[in-house]
Structures are given as C-alpha cells and as structure tokens.
C-alpha cells in the first residue's frame, strides 16, 4: 500500500507513475476522500475542544451550587455530534483504505516505462538453444512415450488444468523439489511448512486482495472465508503480520515448498496445454524481509539463487527485466527467469523475482525498530525458486533423444536412486 502522505504531497507525479503500470488508474477519488477525512477530523477535534470548555464551565457552576442544566444540554448535544462525526470518519477511512489497497506499487526509476511485454529487456542469457538432428517433440508427445502424467484422469477428477503425475513423473517432480530445497538451505534460507490457506487480512497484506479476488479459490464456512494460496509468498509474508522486528534480526531469509492454486489457467490452445498453465502447480518460494538499505543487494542474491538451480540443471534460460506494465501489482522491480521450451519454440517464465519495497509491509504492518528509534516499515522481496511445472517441461524437451529417451541432469541422479535417463515404456 502506498503512503497517503506521499500521494498527497506529489499527486501528479504519483498518478503518472501509477499509470505507467495501469493507464486506467485515477487517484482523484482518493484525494477527495483524504481531504474529507482530514476536514472531518479537524472539525471533530474542534468540537472536542468546545465540549471540554463547556465541561469545565459546568464543573465550575456545579462547585458554586449553580444550575448546570443548560451546560449539560450543550455538552450532551456536542457529544452526539462528535459520535456521529467519528462514525462518519471511520467509514470514510475504511473506504480510503480500500481505495488505497487497489493501487499498485510504484516502479523503480530504472524500470522501463511501457505497457508492452514485448519491450521487456533481456539482461542475461545462459546456454544456446539446443540444436536437434530430428524434429523435437513437445512434452505431451513425450508423455505418450514415457507415461509420466495422466491429464485425462486429472480432468476426470477436477476438470481441465488439474494435472496428475504418475510413476517416474511423480518421482522426477519430487527430485526437482528436493534439489531446490537443498539448494536454498545451502544458501542460508530457513525452510517453513505452512498452511495452504490464508485469511482475508493475510491475503490483503500480501496484496492479493482485493485486486485478484476473482483469481483465487476460496473456502466458505460459518467463520467466513479462507483463500487457497496462489503462492507461498502470501503466507510467508503473513508470518510477521502486525509485528515489530528487531533491526538486528534482519534480513530474514525464508523459503517454502507448497502447491499453488489459481483459477486463471490461460488459453486452452495447443501452446498452453499440459503443464504449461495449470490451476494447481508446485513451487518453492523464496521470501526475504530486509532493512530498506539492503533490499537491492538481497534482490540480486535471490536472482542468483534461482539462476544457480537452472545452471545446475543445464537448461537454457534468459533473465528479463520487466517493463512497468508487465510487473506484478506489488512489485517495484521484477526480473523474470525464462526457460527455453523447444516444443513451444519460445521462452516461458519459471521464476519471477520482485522487490516489493515497503508496499506489502505497510499493508501487513510489518516494521523494524532500532533501540531508541521509531518503528519503520521493512522491505519485502519474493522469488520463485522455482515453479516446477514449466521446469519439468524444459527438462524433458531440452534433454530428449531421437528414440524418445530423456537424459536426466547429473544433479538429480542422487534423488532418483541413481537413475540417469527416462526410457520409453514398453
């Protein structure tokens, strides 16, 4: 959430930056609500001062044995006005908080202003695209030979977009997850096992509500709603909801493996079939809480951690610095790591690393404090480390052989009891 004081002080500049992410944004209603709230608060304070004056006069009259009926009526009348005004202020502040909650984070100055994802900037590449002496198969065609997934039974169980892993497909998925878990532990990240649901205030704190309400699955019971998480970022951010952290405890470097759930699963076309876009997928998520002065450095560390996994798997990838219009709602700066998928003849994102500055911290009331100083908002950062579904596709399609075999990366052999390749099923 943005600081209303910053918006108030620089409305034109802030509006321009916001429209670089979403040209439909207007802050006029927010400015109007803010002005109304401040005006009513000033009027309420004036009424309270007036009430105090009359209360003192009533006390003086009472001590002199004089009639206080008139003063009592005046004080009572002012009190009723204050009660109504404070109720109006509370309602307006709630509306203002909702409106502020609908504004995205401001982009960093170094982020290119554009609404076109085609203008994302490639800042790094690793490995050349593989050259095959045969026509490469996509992962669906490979699956017909290898028997790793069962998309038809997934559709029977829950509808399209809900994959089923089987046999070696399941084992390979777990191998990828275990490898990533070990990598992040080696980098000093603390592992957490977390709920797969979050309360509405936790979803708001991570900036997934109200913006993405229609993309979330939710469970409704007599106690209200719980939302299935679309990423572990939601609950990792929520761990320190409404807390003040000791500045010396920072940075906090966390990660968690979770399934993730999203309603929007993309196009049903051939380019988006199978594991490319699904309603449920596995992901290892990095999440850091830092002092603002350290967030740029932590950002680079997180990008490097994601890169290390792809390099170890020997998969061609590129890093893309996203333009303003392609960044996430909460992000001030984002670098996507995209793997090459021969079957689709294009790059696809498997990791998105974002610096959210104090945007989530302000919504979640996560602060740090140095001795003798006032609490300040932390910076939060998140990054996929990695999402496995497209990673699985990249692994299969880039390492396929003409006879349908798939050579497995050396780093996964120990997680697969020494298995070095996938063979066509008989």
- Reported as a single tens digit per residue, the pLDDT across 199-223 is 999 999 999 999 999 999 999 988 8
pLDDT at 268 over 80: no
Is residue 275 helix, strand or coil? Answer: coil
**Same domain assignment for residues 240 and 361:** yes
Residues 221 and 284 in one domain: yes
pLDDT at 426: 67
CA distance 134 to 143: 18
Identify whether residues 62 and 163 lie together within a single domain: no
Question: Is 109 part of any domain?
Answer: no
390 part of the active site = yes
Q: Are residues 97 and 123 in the same domain?
A: no
- The answer to whether residue 111 is domain-embedded is no
Do 148 and 290 sit in the same domain of this protein? yes
| CATH code of the domain containing 221 | 3.30.930.10
- Same domain, residue pair 62 and 147: no
Write out pLDDT tens, residues 107-138. 999 999 999 999 999 999 999 999 999 999 99
Examine the domain organization and report whether 74 and 133 are in the same domain. no
Is 328 assigned a catalytic role?
no
**Residue 49 domain boundaries:** 4-101
Which is the catalytic residue, given 44, 230, 351, 352?
352
Say whether both 268 and 396 belong to one domain.
Answer: yes
Confidence at residue 231, expressed as pLDDT on a 0 to 100 scale: 97
| 22 is a domain residue | yes
Q: Residues 277, 362, 363, 367: which is the catalytic one?
A: 277
CATH code for the domain in which residue 72 is found: 1.10.287.40
pTM score, whole prediction: 0.92
- Note the pLDDT tens digit of each residue in 39-78: 999 998 888 888 777 777 767 767 777 677 776 777 788 8
Same domain, 130 and 61: no
Residue 112 lies in a domain: no
In angstroms, the CA 326 to CA 111 distance is 11
Q: Residue 31 pLDDT > 90, yes or no?
A: yes
81 and 150 both lie in a single domain: no
Q: pLDDT by residue (tens digit) across 145-179?
A: 999 999 999 999 999 999 999 999 999 999 999 99
Instruction: Please check whether residues 173 and 308 belong to one and the same domain.
Output: yes
Tokens coding 367:
């602060």
**Start-to-end Cα distance in the chain:** 56
Q: Considering the candidates 51, 389, 390, 397, report the single residue annotated as catalytic.
A: 390
Give yes or no: residues 178 and 61 share one domain: no
The pLDDT mean for the chain works out to 93
Q: Please indicate, yes or no, if residue 306 is contained in any of the structural domains.
A: yes
Task: State how many domains the chain has.
Answer: 2
Q: Which residues of 159-183 are buried (b: 16+ CB within 10 A; e: fewer)?
A: eebbbbbeebbebbbebbbbbbbeb
> pLDDT tens digits for 344-387?
999 999 999 999 999 999 999 999 999 889 999 999 999 999 99
- 352 an active-site residue? yes
Residue 229 maps to a domain: yes
Kindly state the average pLDDT of the residues 393-404.
96
Last residue of a domain, one of 74, 101, 128: 101
Catalytic residue check, 426: no
267 pLDDT tier (thresholds 50, 70, 90): very low
Please indicate, yes or no, if residue 106 is contained in any of the structural domains: no
The catalytic position among 173, 233, 262, 295 is 262
Is the residue at 108 inside a domain?
no
Q: Which of 69, 101, 133 is the last residue of a domain?
A: 101
Q: What local confidence, expressed as pLDDT, does residue 82 receive?
A: 87
pLDDT at 233: 98
User: Going by C-beta distance under 8 Å and a sequence separation of 6 or more, which residues neighbour residue 180?
Assistant: 257, 284, 309, 385, 386
Of these residues, 19, 99, 349, 405, which one is catalytic? 349
pLDDT of residue 271: 59
Of 72, 101, 130, the residue that ends a domain is 101
């Amino acid at each position: 959430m943005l600081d209303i004081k910053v918006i108030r002080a620089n409305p034109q500049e802030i509006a321009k930056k916001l429209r670089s992410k979403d040209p439909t944004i207007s802050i006029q209603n927010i400015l109007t609500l803010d002005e109304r709230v401040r005006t009513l608060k000033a009027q309420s304070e004036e009424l309270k001062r007036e009430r105090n004056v009359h209360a003192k006069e009533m006390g003086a009259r009472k001590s002199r044995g004089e009639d206080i009926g008139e003063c009592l009526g005046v004080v009572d009348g002012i009190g009723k006005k204050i009660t109504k005004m404070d109720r109006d202020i509370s309602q307006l502040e709630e509306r203002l908080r909702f409106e502020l909650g609908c504004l995205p984070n401001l982009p960093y100055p170094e982020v290119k202003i554009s609404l076109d994802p085609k203008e994302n900037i490639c800042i790094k590449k690793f490995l050349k695209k593989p050259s095959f002496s045969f026509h490469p198969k996509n992962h669906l065609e490979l699956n017909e030979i290898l028997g790793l997934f069962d998309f038809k039974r997934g559709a029977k169980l829950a509808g399209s977009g809900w994959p089923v892993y089987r046999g070696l497909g399941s084992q390979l998925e777990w191998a990828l997850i275990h490898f990533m878990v070990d990598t992040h532990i080696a980098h000093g990240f603390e592992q957490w096992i977390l709920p797969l649901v979050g309360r509405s205030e936790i979803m708001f704190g991570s900036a997934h509500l109200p913006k993405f309400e229609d993309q979330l699955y939710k469970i409704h019971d007599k106690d209200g709603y719980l939302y299935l998480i679309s990423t572990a970022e939601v609950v990792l951010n929520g761990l320190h909801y409404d807390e003040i952290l000791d500045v010396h405890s920072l940075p906090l470097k966390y990660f968690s493996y979770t399934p993730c759930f999203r309603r929007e699963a993309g196009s049903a076309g051939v380019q988006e079939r199978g594991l490319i876009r699904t309603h449920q997928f596995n992901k290892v998520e990095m999440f850091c809480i830092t002092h603002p002065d350290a967030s740029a450095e932590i950002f680079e560390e997180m990008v490097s951690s994601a890169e290390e996994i792809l390099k170890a798997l020997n998969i061609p990838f590129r890093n893309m610095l996203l333009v303003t219009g392609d960044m996430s709602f909460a992000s001030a700066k984002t670098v996507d790591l995209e793997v090459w998928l021969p079957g689709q003849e294009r790059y696809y994102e498997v990791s998105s690393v974002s610096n959210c500055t104090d945007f989530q911290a302000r919504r979640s009331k996560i602060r740090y404090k140095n001795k003798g100083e006032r609490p300040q908002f932390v910076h939060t950062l998140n990054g996929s480390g990695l999402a496995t579904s497209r990673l699985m596709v990249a692994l299969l399609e880039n390492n396929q052989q003409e006879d349908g075999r798939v050579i497995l990366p050396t780093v996964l052999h120990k997680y697969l009891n020494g298995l070095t390749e996938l063979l066509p099923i008989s």
